[in-house]
Amino acid sequence: MIGLGIDVGSLATKALILKDDQILAWSVKPTDISRKSIPAAVDDVLKRTGLRLNEIENIISTGIGKKEVSYATGTLSEVSCAVRGTAFLFTGVRTVVDIGGQNCRAIRCDGDGGVIDFALNDKCAAGTGIFLTSMAKALEVDIGEMGQLSRQSTMEVNITSMCVVFAESEVVTLIHRSVPKADIIRGLHKSIAMRVNGLVHSIGLESRVAVVGGVAKNDGVVSCLEELFKQKVFVPGEPQLVCALGAAAAAMKRGGAN
């Protein structure tokens, strides 16, 4: 059985093909307003596998733009896909933290892909990929370097606001005070982690935690979360693919469930 999962996120569109529980190919494309990223990602994985779209029986879409995949045989929520994808990769995880471009989700699960409870951040982009992107621009650093830079921090800096506009103002003020960028970045990571920690504890933190989503690529944020959770967490090699993987797993095994 072959399954195609498509995750149309606010910053990136991901496509992934599974065959008999083996990942055949995956692709990540920047999401654009015209949604050309959807055919671009899908065409990429089809080319990599030599498959044609009509050869794939079940296609599940998820993400903020899931309804724009007209040929999908079904859709699933990001919460469900995050848990399914995590269960595919790791055994017995009971808490999933999914930090994407625009949303953050804390999910309590049964360890086998079933959702028990979950909590979402509010409509504000605080603590998400968009927030970090804005802060990276204010600091004039590459977002991919933020994790490494935060490890160079030697001084505690507190960022009091999680609103993008006000936090950016705080960052600019700290820069003008000649506060090292590494310390500012560590302060930003700690603020994000504290916000996520509150979300997780609202549903109950359990052992065996996985952090997924694009922000999980930032090991500075992950390190701050581990300090607050008081345990090591699981992070996939490609954390932003987890929802697409969960969608593909659903497509491969039962297809079309809403």
Q: Measured between alpha carbons, how far is residue 168 from residues 135, 171, 184, 185, 254 in Å? A: 6, 5, 11, 12, 45
Question: Does domain 91-235 correspond to CATH entry 3.30.420.40?
Answer: yes
Across the chain, how many H-helices and E-strands are there? 8, 10
The reply to whether 91-235 shares the fold of 1-90+240-258 is yes
Enumerate the domain spans of the chain. 1-90+240-258, 91-235
The CATH number of the domain covering residues in 1-90+240-258: 3.30.420.40
- Measure the CA–CA gap between 210 and 239, rounded to whole angstroms: 10
- Measure the CA–CA gap between 85 and 76, rounded to whole angstroms: 12
Per-residue pLDDT tens listing for the chain (258 residues)? 899 999 999 889 999 999 999 999 999 999 998 899 999 999 999 999 999 999 998 999 999 999 999 999 999 999 999 999 999 999 999 999 999 888 899 999 998 889 999 999 865 666 688 889 999 999 999 999 999 999 999 999 988 877 777 888 899 999 999 999 999 999 999 999 998 999 999 999 998 999 999 999 999 999 999 999 999 999 999 999 999 999 999 999 864 444
